[in-house]
Amino acid sequence: MRNRLCLAAALFATLSLSAFAQTKPIAPKRNEAILVIKVRLQPGVQEDFFKNYASAKKRGETITKAYLGIGAYYGYMSSTGSEIGPLNQFGYVKASIPKDRAILFRSFEVRLADHSNLFINFPLNLRFTVPEDTPYVYLGTFVYRYSDEYFTMLSFERVDEFDEALAELRAALGPSIKLARAVFKEAD
């Protein structure tokens, strides 16, 4: 029985799509993609108010962050909660490329004061394919505009800041870096 549990744990770890975030551009390893994304909330979040709800040991260091939920399109495992990073900055999420190169972009969420119980979830259920010629994929800049303390939505849109993202990548990793725009399709 113990061997079966160990085998199941190893299988789970192997099949899952791993993803790790960086706040600075990084070079991927073989069979990895770098997903470039930025999230904005407008108006800005009142950090001081939400820090009061964080645990006492985290109150001094908390900032609102965004998290990405992705997975292999034809797989069973997914990554939920891969950190994109602080709002209004490009995040660089390192993700394993599945054999068919198709990735499911399930959702992203904004955790207020980086508190897992205070969040806004944005379900998307989109898929895209990582191109063969570059591992760098720009997902977009997502802007959520709200009207009051209850985060009542005014608008939600994907803004194209591709040139800014490409310039930041090239400044960090060299002029030969290519960045591809994600072509989203609705997932089945």
pLDDT in tens, 5-53: 444 443 333 333 344 445 678 888 888 999 999 999 999 888 878 777 7
If you average pLDDT over residues 174-188, what whole number do you get? 93
> What pLDDT, on a 0 to 100 scale, did the predictor assign at position 46?
84
Is 2 among the domain residues? no
> What pLDDT, on a 0 to 100 scale, did the predictor assign at position 27?
84
Is 4 among the domain residues? no
| Lowest-pLDDT choice from 18-22, 121-125, 135-139, 145-149 | 18-22
The range of the structural domain enclosing residue 159 comes to 17-186
Is 10 among the domain residues? no
65 by Cβ neighbours in 10 Å (0-12 / 13-18 / 19+) ranks as buried
Q: Which of 144, 141, 18 is nearest to 72 (CA)?
A: 18
pTM score over 0.85: no
Is 181 among the domain residues? yes
**6 compared with 180, residue with greater pLDDT:** 180
> What pLDDT, on a 0 to 100 scale, did the predictor assign at position 75?
57
**125 compared with 3, residue with greater pLDDT:** 125
- CB 139 within 8 Å of CB 108: no
Q: Report the number of distinct structural domains present in the chain.
A: 1
Is 7 among the domain residues? no
Is 175 among the domain residues? yes
Q: SS3 for 113? A: helix
The per-residue pLDDT for range 68-122, each reduced to its tens digit, is: 888 776 655 555 568 899 999 999 999 888 889 999 988 899 988 887 788 899 9
Cα–Cα distance for residue pair 71/106, rounded to 1 Å = 7
Is 8 among the domain residues? no
The per-residue pLDDT for range 151-163, each reduced to its tens digit, is: 999 999 999 999 9
Cα–Cα distance for residue pair 134/173, rounded to 1 Å = 14
